């Protein structure tokens, strides 16, 4: 710029080109060009590293999804097999009690990926020889629903090959059932307990005791004399099976509380 002023004619403004005017900016940008090149190289390298990491994670995710689907397939097949076995036992018990057949409908509501898994299971049975299968949700007499509820529990035990030694507790055993239904249900309980080698404990009203005595191995009779009594009357025990030693072993526990009555 100083040279332009020196070479100019007196009284005339110096002439300047665009390149002359842009030179300071070009010079400044040139000073930052090297830094920009370094930053651009770093950004490119980081992008490649991130892309590679994403590709690796996608590969791991795909492997995990495949493994999850395989495990879910195994679980689904296993449960479907169990429900099928329970349904078959349910039908056999129902036919054995003189009814017309029963089944267990089941449907898997499988999650997308890892999530809550729901199974929709509906017991159904026939009310007549020529009728269709009726859901337990439809109106029916309470005795019929109760009988099939117990049969379904027994069917689950029959389908389980590891039920030996377990204990099943049933409340209000045989109550609200007619004589035929009550005897059929008690007989089914006896057969399952014997075949599966398990113990079934059932509470019942006095009106059921006579029928229960025909199928059980032991009766415990609890007597509540009046509302004024804090505890029951002394427990009465009858044993019907051949294992007399078991009865003698429980004698001490049965009479232990009598001194506090």
pLDDT digits (tens, 9 = 90+) for 66-104: 999 999 999 999 999 999 999 999 999 999 888 899 999
pLDDT tens digits for range 99-150: 899 999 999 998 888 888 999 999 999 988 888 888 888 876 677 788 888 8
> What is d(CA 146, CA 182) in angstroms, rounded to the nearest whole number?
10
> Mean pLDDT over residues 31-37, rounded?
80
Q: What pLDDT is stored for residue 16 in this prediction? A: 62
What's the confidence (pLDDT) of residue 163? 83
Q: Compute the average pLDDT of residues 25-35.
A: 77
HEC readout, the chain: CHHHHHHCCCCCCCCCCHHHHHHHHHHHHHHHHHHHHHHHHHHHHHHHHHHHHHHHHHHHHHHHHHHHHHHHHHHHHHHHHHHHHHHHHHHHHHHHCCCCCEEEEEEEECCCCCCCCEEEEEEEEECCCCCCEEECCCCCCHHHHHHHHHHHHHHHHHHCCCCCCCEEEECCCCCCCCHHHHHHHHHHHHHHHHHHCCEEEECCCHHHHHHHHCCCCEEEECCCCCCCCCCCCCCEEEECCCCHHHHHHHHHHHHCCHHHC
pLDDT at 232 > cutoff 60: yes
| pTM, 2 dp | 0.67
**pLDDT per position as a tens digit, 44-67:** 999 999 999 999 999 998 898 899
Is the pLDDT score of 2 beyond 60? no
pLDDT at 223 over 90: no
Give the pLDDT of residue 18.
66
Q: Which residue has the higher pLDDT, 18 or 155?
A: 155
Query: Which residue's entry shows tokens 């029951």?
Result: 232
Identify the pLDDT of residue 178. Answer: 83
What is the average per-residue pLDDT within 4-9?
54
Contact predicate 196/189, CB 8 Å: no
Give the whole-angstrom CA distance, residue 93 versus residue 187.
11
* Predicted pLDDT at 11: 55
Going by pLDDT thresholds of 50, 70 and 90, the confidence category of residue 6 is: low
User: Average pLDDT of the chain?
Assistant: 83
User: d(Cα 151, Cα 123) in Å, to the nearest integer?
Assistant: 11
What are the tokens at 117?
């898994």
pLDDT in tens, 160-212: 888 888 899 988 887 778 888 888 888 889 988 888 888 999 988 888 888 88
Q: Can you give the pLDDT at residue 102?
A: 92
């Amino acid at each position: 710029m100083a040279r332009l002023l020196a070479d100019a004619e007196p009284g005339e403004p110096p002439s300047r080109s665009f390149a002359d005017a842009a030179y300071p900016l070009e010079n400044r940008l040139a000073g930052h060009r090297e830094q920009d090149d370094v930053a651009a190289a770093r950004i490119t390298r980081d992008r490649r590293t991130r892309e590679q990491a994403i590709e690796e994670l996608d590969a791991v995710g795909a492997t995990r999804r495949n493994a999850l689907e395989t495990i879910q397939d195994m679980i689904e097949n296993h449960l479907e097999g169990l429900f099928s076995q329970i349904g078959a036992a349910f039908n056999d018990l129902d036919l054995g009690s003189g009814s017309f057949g029963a089944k267990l409908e089941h449907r898997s509501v499988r999650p997308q990926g890892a999530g809550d898994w729901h199974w929709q299971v509906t017991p159904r049975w026939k009310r007549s020889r020529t009728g269709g299968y009726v859901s337990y949700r439809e109106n029916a007499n309470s005795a019929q629903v109760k009988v099939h509820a117990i049969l379904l529990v027994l069917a689950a035990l029959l389908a389980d090959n590891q039920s030996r030694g377990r204990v099943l507790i049933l409340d209000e055993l045989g109550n609200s059932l007619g004589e035929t239904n009550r005897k059929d249900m008690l007989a089914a309980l006896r057969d399952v307990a014997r075949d599966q080698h398990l113990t079934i404990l059932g509470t019942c009203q006095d009106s059921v005791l006579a029928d229960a005595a025909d199928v059980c191995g032991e009766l415990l009779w609890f007597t509540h004399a009046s509302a004024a009594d804090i505890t029951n009357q002394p427990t009465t025990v009858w044993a019907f099976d051949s294992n007399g030693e078991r009865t003698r072993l429980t004698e001490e526990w049965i009479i232990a509380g009598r001194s506090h009555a």
